[in-house]
Amino acid sequence: MGKRSESDEFYVVDLSDELLGVPASRQHKFEWLRGDWSEKKQSFSYLPVDGYWKSLDLVIEYAERQHSEPVKVFDQRDTVSGVPRGQQRRIYDQRRVDLVPANGLRLVVIPATAFLLTRKRIARDHKRDIEVVRGILTDFIE
């Protein structure tokens, strides 16, 4: 695909930044949001969130297609917990759903299916896409 900054995830966070009037902390990691224990590394990994707006107590996750369907390129690697990658992704997604609100933050999941997709990526029509995000973030926009 290229650089991460060209990804649909970054595009959706950019749109959110524009609407919210403040930049997100991207790929933010919280001490309390951890992956599974790795025996090999003798540590936990921290699960990043796509965007975190501290002043709004808001976390946004962009649910790309690998969050709802098998994607071979994402599902090939082994996991530290020994479960298939797709299953681990569902576990980690649920962890975010459970722990973000439990830690006093609001979680908004923006699904890829909310946008017009071309070849499984957002078609990138700023006017249309900003309205999609505006509709989802209505409660957070002044």
- pTM, to two decimals: 0.84
pLDDT tens by residue, 7-20: 999 999 999 999 99
pLDDT tens by residue, 103-123: 999 999 999 999 999 988 999
Coarse DSSP helix, strand, coil percentages of the chain, rounded to the nearest 5 percent: 45, 30, 30
Q: Is the pLDDT of residue 54 over 60?
A: yes
Mean pLDDT calculated for residue range 32-58? 90
Q: Hunting for tokens 């996991």 — which residue is that?
A: 79
**Whole-angstrom Cα distance, residue 55 to residue 74?**
33
Measured CA distances, 93 to 89, 114, 128, 140 (Å): 6, 18, 27, 22
**Whole-angstrom Cα distance, residue 14 to residue 129?**
11
Q: Is the pLDDT of residue 97 over 70?
A: yes
Q: Is the pLDDT of residue 22 over 70?
A: yes
pLDDT at 43: 81
Contact present, 59 and 49 (Cβ < 8 Å):
yes
Token code pair at residue 135: 């509709």
For the chain, domains (ranges, CATH) are 4-140 (3.40.960)
